[in-house]
Amino acid sequence: MHEIGMCEGLVELIERRAAGRRVTAARVRVGARHAVVDAAFGQAFTLAAAGTAVQDAVVELVITPMTVGCRACGGRSESADPLAACPLCGDEGVDLSGGDELVLESVTFGEEAADVPRHPR
């Protein structure tokens, strides 16, 4: 399962950034070329995060498209389909670019009452 390896790396990265703090949410941008399925990614992330500071985090997955350049008609478009054909002429002879990123965009940390210093006013 492709998503497990990806999620294991993401959990490690998030844990390093968390530095012991509880993580409540993360936003991950994944290019369409990775052919990630949202439901499979969610299950893989849950498995990879079990027993870590990330285990209760809600993960928002953002799929970014790739650019499709048609060799037949010269048209250019965007697609989230890794098996894209030209939407203008239907030709399957296309060049794909972009859509290969994997970016941890943000991490949200939870506050635990025992760990939050209180400042008198």
Mean per-residue pLDDT for 62-80?
93
* Residue 75 confidence (pLDDT): 93
28 contacts 11 by C-beta, under 8 angstroms = no
Bridge-based pairing of strands 76-79 and 66-70 is: antiparallel
63 contacts 30 by C-beta, under 8 angstroms = yes
Bridge-based pairing of strands 58-64 and 76-79 is: unpaired
Percent of the chain residues past pLDDT 90, beyond the cut:
69
pLDDT over threshold 90, residue 67: yes
More confident residue, 111 or 100: 100
Q: Which of 31-40, 67-76, 104-113 has the lowest mean pLDDT?
A: 104-113
Enumerate the H helices of 34-107 as residue ranges: 38-49
90 contacts 105 by C-beta, under 8 angstroms = no
pLDDT over threshold 60, residue 1: no
Q: Is residue 121 very low, low, confident or very high in pLDDT (cuts 50, 70, 90)?
A: very low
pLDDT over threshold 90, residue 3: no
State residue 64 phi and psi, 5-degree precision.
Answer: -105, 140
